[in-house]
Structure 1
Amino acid sequence: MRTSLALLATATLSPFATALKVLSSTGDSAFAFALANATYYSPATAVASGCFGNTGSCTTPDLLPLTVLATNATTITAEALAAVVSMYASIDDVWSEAFLENGALFLANSANATLDSSAASWMNSYGIKYLLVTERLDVSGYNSSSTTVIHVPSSWDLQPGPYTFSFDPAGNAAICQAYALHRDNYEAFLFGVTAVPNTTAYAPVGLFIPSYQDAWIPVPSRLYSLGDSRPLAGIRVALKDIYDLEGVQTGGGSRSYAEVYPVANATAVSMQKMLDLGVVIVGKTKTSQFAHGADPYQFIDIHYPWNPRGDGYLTAASSSSGSAAAIAGYDWIDMSIGSDTRGSVRKPAALVGSYGIRPTWQSMNLTGVIPLATEMDTAGFFVRDPELFLTVAGLWYEGSAVPVNTSFTSLPSTVLYPVDYFPLNNSAAQAVFDTFLDTLEEEFGMTRRTINISATLSAAQSLSPGITNATSFQLSSNRLAEYVSYHEVGIPLIEAWNATFPGAGYPPLDPNPRAAFARSMNLTEEDYEDAMSIKNEFRDYFLANILRPDPETCSESIMILDMGTGGLPSYREQALNARAGATSLTVTQVPGGGPSVPSNYLASTAGCPEVGIPIGQVAYDSFISLQEEYIPINVDMVAAPGCDGMLLEIVRRLTELGVAKEVKTGRTAF
């Protein structure tokens, strides 16, 4: 049987509730549906509609699952169709053969072709109701009493994969993409998003599970990117909610902020670069407010994410905790985006056991990103796979305003071992570090050199007291962040809040930014300049005396650090961290070692690159599950500014040696 869209008004159409069951609607022509015990989402905007591509919706009474199947065969046989279906099933985790069963099929042939008569029995085996074809496909030899052939415009050039097909007796038809819906049971996300077809914008997805209020996150088919030659095509990304994404609200972890500002009308420059490389965004992840550091129990506006590792009650640090929890918890995303000012990628990466990077400062344009401390802010990311880590880092920071791949002819021969922070409080974790150091010595020919950074700084008579005194140094660094955040974020927010809600008073904020803004009210520009002078003085001394640049190795040495908790559990509940066997997140130095510059401040203040590598896991006795659990162990490597490429080369060689390897999602990293 052969017909066209315009003739559907004369056809007798039966409802199709058995294969595609609508579960809920968002009120904007989008809906969720069930198919073969899985849940999917159909967005409001069609990728193809009507007879001539006019705008349509997917909410007409007749709905079918549809598969766009692409083939280069000039004679399309049952065997050719079966081969493509087998290939689709092997590479995708969204599409399944359920989209064929009692559904519709769009044959997207790239060249003029003929449909072989053997295809009829193949389609009948799936109970395919409608076959959509363009004029490039000759169906004159096709005959099936159970399948209606519909000729669609050649402009309907759709990517392979799963869709929904809707039409009405008047001949109005629409095809929408179908996303797999995954429950965010770790509460890493604020909400999911989908790309709006034929635009540069995204749209939020307002679907939640009523019993738990967990968000449903829409995940696009990998088949949509089959013909995309861009290097990161189809890579699924979770995005920290301090980055603007066109069409989506930026909240920065604050209900007040989201209340008074409109949705973003442009995507952050750094994320647009990612999109241009081919990635797809699946949702916005949680952050501590405005990226200020905060403990789990200080998250008031939004609920703190759950760290998937161990007993599920471990901290994932902040402020990129949502992105870290997502990459450690869900195999349906490939990468998550964070930011690092004083450790907001490095610490979460260490606590969930993923790869993470703080690049050289100023390596990325941060326009469209909520600032914390512009003199230290960087854009970083998390992944589970070292190969992807190397690929993304090599592409995202390419063309940087500052060098990130300074040339080197050999690797450093020295690895700095700061005794301020080693040995770790957990001997099993220390053993993991020792094994890694052995690898650097045996495989890379590096020599371990101990150094006490705090003692070195304290003894440097040329340095100001703002550096030689560890407490003063931390306060100065805090001042940099607080001043910028207050003037760039706080003051505009307060003004917008008062303009929107006259007489409402001060906007509600979480404890840390509220306290930081209160302190900043009394800071002058001179105070800020003094803090900048201390930062720059530290940077100059650090790069002249500790991590010196080198013309042959880029960095004369590398330094290893622990950005985690020394292998001891640190819980999301404050009281548990006071018990024997647990620790506060910030306690990583040797007990009784005296005041020490926090290890995460070193790279931040000196503008250095730092990469985190998961290298093992150690057991602990859980106060929650009352059984033995495992906590991941990461090692961080720091080098002189611009030596990102050299650090990545070490990661590449560690990958070849099998030291750096892919980590799993869930309770254990390995």
Structure 2
Amino acid sequence: MALLTCPASHVALFELYDICTMGSFTRLAATIAATAAVAAASSSILVSTTAASGAFAYTLGNGTRTYYSPAAPVVSGCFDDNNLSKDELLPLTVLRITDKTITADLLANLTSTYAEFDDVWTTEFLGGGALVFSAPEGAVLDASASAWIVAAGSKYLLPTTGLDISSFNGSVFVAPDSWDLKPGPYVLSIAPAGEVKIRQTYALHRDNLEAFLFGVTPVSGKSVYAQVDLFASSYQDAWIPMPSRLYWLDDERPLAGVRVALKDIYDLEGVQTGGGSRAYAEVYPFSNKTAVSVQKILDLGAVVVGKTKTSQFAHGADPWQFVDIHYPWNPRGDGYLTAASSSSGSAAAIAGYDWIDIAIGSDTRGSVRKPAALVGSYGIRPTWGSMDLTGVIPLADEMDTVGFFARDPALFTKIAGLWYENAPTAVNKTFARFPEKILYPVDYFPLRNPAAQALFEEFITTLETEFGMRRTEINLTTTLRESVSDPVITNATAFQLNSNRLAEYVSYHKVGVPLAEKWNDTFGGYPPLDPNPRAAFRRSENLTEADYDEAVEFKNKFKEYFLGNVLRPDKETCSDGIMILDMGTGGLPSYREQALNSLPGATALSVTVPVGGPNMPSNYLASTAGCPEIGIPVGQVSYESEISLQTEMMPVNVDLVAAPGCDGMLLELTNRLAELGIARTVKTGRMAF
């Protein structure tokens, strides 16, 4: 078969396929009817839906899984061969072979390894499809391998040049050397005049937790992405395309192929950033540059699979406080618990879907730590200033951080160590040993559920027996009141008002005002917003720069006090102690429906506050002092569900706080806890363990 060269100027990438006829082109419209006609010639692929762009979804033979292929092919070319069947759409598998002799056993073992390693490619791709062999120069396909290919049902063989296939009697056309395809699953389309296009293929997963806004796929393997606007018609759940892990088999980058769910306040080139606001998405174009922090993890080899929901502009909100976008569902327990905010979409995704490896959120005053506690995942708020926030919708410049969620402690610590490496603010300060003190704030304990408190006690005992630490009780509320005269720091109401100003002033001036101006210029009037940001922007109208500077000053006063008297930096241990906290709800269920939280045994969504007197919620401590904090799932407790009317399980996290820059020490402690079997991998679904 001879390969013809198609004029580059005529190659269209964003349609189903072109027809190549003697160097001239006739366009075949990318319609469902046309796609179905193409598929009818093949018993291997059934096309189920087609996007107007030319991308299409399909099922393999038995229809148990749905796949998606983008419009743009990774390779294309025209073949002059009258024996080549036309109007075909076939599954294709690329096998990367290093041996010089290709046998049936080698192919059986290789495909078995592929199927075990990957959750996208299956042996169904072999039946009635095509095989591309990427093999060394001079490699030989022996008779047993030829028989294996026939038995597998593959219709075509596309060997690379230099591979001896004389033993094979089936249909062959030689793949050009320029077709440097990665191992894994693809779709092969053959147009009537012989044009061949090969596209990557993705497994489609339905987002029934409503954690995502939409899925994305990388364009031509670059850092540019394209939105995938596919939805289940009954409920409008997004279909999220999942790339094969086989595509990264030869990639030596440390995070090659790690799948990432991305909170919708981060820019991703080629994709809409909406910040949880329809109005914002309406007046701002798709991003033309990826956020610095996201680009850093992409450069390490990770791949984004979709944008997750956020409460609007990352302002805190309860599940019922939305106008624009429905709140995600926490998969734990009866499925009716809150996942907190604002990174609830990312938290729901990591707790609900095993096809996600990590989920990126942001943490200003607890937006990673609280959801992590409520869904039972690992979560980190790093040292403030640890990541360049260019390309991220801001909330509070003085407290914003880039955090993430994970289920596996080894992956969690690996990614944190790599991602925060070479940070603008040091996060891996050296330490010779772990701190000896476990700071136990008695005004925040015991938890309201004794079973949850028992899990904390067991965890503390482990730190004492395995690491030689000792519990050191502290009453933070009393200490503050006795040591600090400033009422803005010691009075809970004043402290929260000051913290609100740090967020509201920045969000209003950097997000609210520009949005209002763009909306008025385009549509007239003021943009529709969710209740919480709308109220915050109204309050901020009269805030002055002097008010904001005063809030920063008070924040710095608290930080100075906290780091001088509570969690002191230390040369040997990095932090002279580790504070233990609860970021959850004290082990009680908090529902996504407001009325249920007033029933006996339930609680409103509020992070633990001191017993016997108002003061700051526990999530404010690290935020205001700029400290790193890590959440570790340690177990689960039972509750009587008002929804399922039976006993359910909900997760419990222990949070650890250290002095700024001691992220590395906390991560190493997490590693050691994993080695002891204390920090365990959590499951997806109703129960974490």
TM over 0.5: yes
In the alignment, structure 1 residue 45 sits paired with structure 2 residue 72 = yes
Alignment of 1:541-556 (within 5 A): 541-556=561-576
Whole-Å separation in 2 of the counterparts to 1:167 and 1:335 = 37
Counterpart selection for 2:59 from 34, 38, 58: 34
| 1:219 equivalent in structure 2 | 242
| 2:512 equivalent in structure 1 | 490
Whole-Å separation in 2 of the counterparts to 1:612 and 1:389 = 11
| 1:557 equivalent in structure 2 | 577
In the alignment, structure 1 residue 467 sits paired with structure 2 residue 493 = no
Counterpart selection for 1:297 from 307, 317, 320: 320
Whole-Å separation in 2 of the counterparts to 1:589 and 1:265 = 43
Whole-Å separation in 1 of the counterparts to 2:607 and 2:560 = 27
In the alignment, structure 1 residue 193 sits paired with structure 2 residue 216 = yes
Say if 1:159 and 1:223, in contact at 8 Å, map to a contact too. yes
In the alignment, structure 1 residue 409 sits paired with structure 2 residue 432 = yes
Whole-Å separation in 2 of the counterparts to 1:569 and 1:198 = 43
| 1:603 equivalent in structure 2 | 622
| 1:321 equivalent in structure 2 | 344
Deviations 1:114-138 (A, max 9, x none): 2223222111112211111221212
TM-score, normalization by structure 1: 0.95
| 3-state SS of 1:407 partner | coil
Deviations 1:437-470 (A, max 9, x none): 1111111111111111122111124x42211111
Whole-Å separation in 1 of the counterparts to 2:283 and 2:138 = 55
Cα 1:349–1:253 shift into 2, 3 Å: same
In the alignment, structure 1 residue 175 sits paired with structure 2 residue 184 = no
Residue 76 of structure 1, CA deviation:
1.6
Counterpart selection for 2:600 from 580, 591, 594: 580
Q: Which amino acid aligns with 2:318?
A: D
| 2:413 equivalent in structure 1 | 390
Whole-Å separation in 1 of the counterparts to 2:44 and 2:382 = 49
Counterpart selection for 2:551 from 531, 534, 540: 531
Counterpart selection for 2:471 from 448, 464, 479: 448
Whole-Å separation in 1 of the counterparts to 2:360 and 2:51 = 27
Whole-Å separation in 2 of the counterparts to 1:589 and 1:201 = 44
Deviations 1:393-426 (A, max 9, x none): 1000000111111111111100111122100000
| 1:567 equivalent in structure 2 | 587
Whole-Å separation in 2 of the counterparts to 1:454 and 1:301 = 39
In the alignment, structure 1 residue 354 sits paired with structure 2 residue 381 = no
Residue 110 of structure 1, CA deviation:
3.9
Deviations 1:635-666 (A, max 9, x none): 00000000111111111111111100100000
| 1:480 equivalent in structure 2 | 502
Percent of aligned pairs with the same amino acid: 67
Say if 1:560 and 1:638, in contact at 8 Å, map to a contact too. yes
| 3-state SS of 2:158 partner | strand
Say if 1:9 and 1:168, in contact at 8 Å, map to a contact too. no
Residue 112 of structure 1, CA deviation:
3.2
Counterpart selection for 1:143 from 168, 172, 179: 168
- Structure 1 unaligned segments of length 5 or more: list them: 53-59
- Structure 2 unaligned segments of length 5 or more: list them: 6-19, 23-37, 80-85
Say if 1:237 and 1:281, in contact at 8 Å, map to a contact too. yes
Deviates more, 1:451-460 or 1:342-351: 451-460
Whole-Å separation in 2 of the counterparts to 1:71 and 1:425 = 59
Counterpart selection for 2:652 from 633, 641, 655: 633
Say if 1:4 and 1:152, in contact at 8 Å, map to a contact too. no
| 1:258 equivalent in structure 2 | 281
Give the number of aligned pairs.
652
Deviates more, 1:191-200 or 1:606-615: 191-200
Say if 1:104 and 1:128, in contact at 8 Å, map to a contact too. yes
Whole-Å separation in 1 of the counterparts to 2:3 and 2:317 = 58
Say if 1:454 and 1:470, in contact at 8 Å, map to a contact too. no
Deviates more, 1:239-248 or 1:192-201: 192-201
In the alignment, structure 1 residue 166 sits paired with structure 2 residue 185 = no
Counterpart selection for 1:105 from 110, 128, 131: 131
| 1:521 equivalent in structure 2 | 541
Residue 17 of structure 1, CA deviation:
3.4
Deviations 1:365-407 (A, max 9, x none): 1100000001100000000000001100100000011111111
Deviations 1:193-238 (A, max 9, x none): 0011153310000111101111100000010000000111011110
Say if 2:438 and 2:578, in contact at 8 Å, map to a contact too. yes
| 1:86 equivalent in structure 2 | 112
| 3-state SS of 1:366 partner | coil
Q: Which amino acid aligns with 2:561?
A: Y
Deviations 1:177-198 (A, max 9, x none): 0100001011100000001115
Whole-Å separation in 2 of the counterparts to 1:418 and 1:516 = 32
Residue 171 of structure 1, CA deviation:
1.9
Counterpart selection for 1:437 from 444, 456, 460: 460
Whole-Å separation in 2 of the counterparts to 1:75 and 1:439 = 54
Say if 1:293 and 1:319, in contact at 8 Å, map to a contact too. yes
Say if 2:583 and 2:607, in contact at 8 Å, map to a contact too. no
| 1:249 equivalent in structure 2 | 272
In the alignment, structure 1 residue 20 sits paired with structure 2 residue 45 = yes
Residue 90 of structure 1, CA deviation:
1.2
Residue 5 of structure 1, CA deviation:
4.5
Whole-Å separation in 1 of the counterparts to 2:122 and 2:496 = 54
Say if 2:223 and 2:298, in contact at 8 Å, map to a contact too. no
Q: Which amino acid aligns with 1:554?
A: C
Deviates more, 1:562-571 or 1:168-177: 168-177
| 2:25 equivalent in structure 1 | none
| 3-state SS of 1:50 partner | strand
Residue 14 of structure 1, CA deviation:
9.7
Deviates more, 1:78-87 or 1:549-558: 78-87
TM-score, normalization by structure 2: 0.93
Deviates more, 1:465-474 or 1:516-525: 465-474
| 2:82 equivalent in structure 1 | none
Residue 499 of structure 1, CA deviation:
1.6
In the alignment, structure 1 residue 132 sits paired with structure 2 residue 158 = yes
